[in-house]
Amino acid sequence: MAEVIGLGAGGHAKVMIEALRLCGDHLIVGLLDPKQDLWHTNVLDVPVLGDDSLIPELLEKGLQLAFIGLGGTGDNGPRRKLHEHALLQGIRVVQAIHPHAEISPSAQLGDGLTVMAGAVINAEARLGVNVIVNTGAIVEHDCVLGDHVHVATGARLASTVRVGPGAHIGAGATVRQGTTIGEGAIVGAGAAVVKNVEPWTVVVGVPARVLKHIGATW
């Protein structure tokens, strides 16, 4: 098994650890996190070694793989920055696909993709890098998801939905077929999106309406 380090030691890291263990392809040797109170603790029996300053030392020891243990709760900017930081350091971010997810063989999957238990990705969907399709979420056929998108737990994207980079689709939200969600937009939990959402806009409700416009984070 290839050795892998986790970048982040929060709740999302727990889910990643269990998914990777079930896949059986990687040995998780440790976690890195900037929070000093987590150092020298364990997350599901995986030690938190320190922060990202340890990356050069780990590279010297031959470690070349990592997973992103930081989730996204609306602002996917920190997760994007962590992913880009790993790549700049010379670390490759691995995919983590839970064995109980269902993925069409014709789907196109980007590097660093995370797909959790019960998720479905259907025919000829295209997903960018560092995307999360969380527990029980559905990405229907011919959807296109940009880089760093998070489709949260139980969310549903009907066919041919387009989701811009960094957008967040909240837990239990539904997006009608053929709809476009703009870059950096946030769809609130439980919302029903029936028309296009502009970039860097927060929408909520049934049907979804604009709550506010937010500034671009990248």
The per-residue pLDDT for range 2-11, each reduced to its tens digit, is 999 999 999 9
pLDDT tops 80 at residue 218: no
Residue 75's pLDDT band, with cuts at 50, 70 and 90, is confident
Each residue's pLDDT tens digit, 108-120: 999 999 999 999 9
Compute the Cα dihedral for 34, 40, 43, 45 and give only its sign: positive
**Which CATH homologous superfamily contains domain 97-213?**
Hexapeptide repeat proteins (2.160.10.10)
Percent of the chain with pLDDT over 90: 91
Burial of 40 (0-12, 13-18, 19+ CB in 10 A): exposed
Per the annotation, the verdict on 141 as an active-site residue is yes
Each residue's pLDDT tens digit, 146-170: 999 999 999 999 999 999 999 999 9
Q: Which fold has domain 2-70?
A: Rossmann fold (3.40.50)
Looking at residue 83, its amino acid is H
Percent of the chain with pLDDT over 70: 100
Q: Where in the chain is the domain with CATH 2.160.10.10?
A: 97-213
Average pLDDT in the 72-83 region? 88
Q: Which of 141, 148, 150, 213 is catalytic?
A: 141
Count the Cβ atoms, other than its own, within 10 Å of residue 195: 12
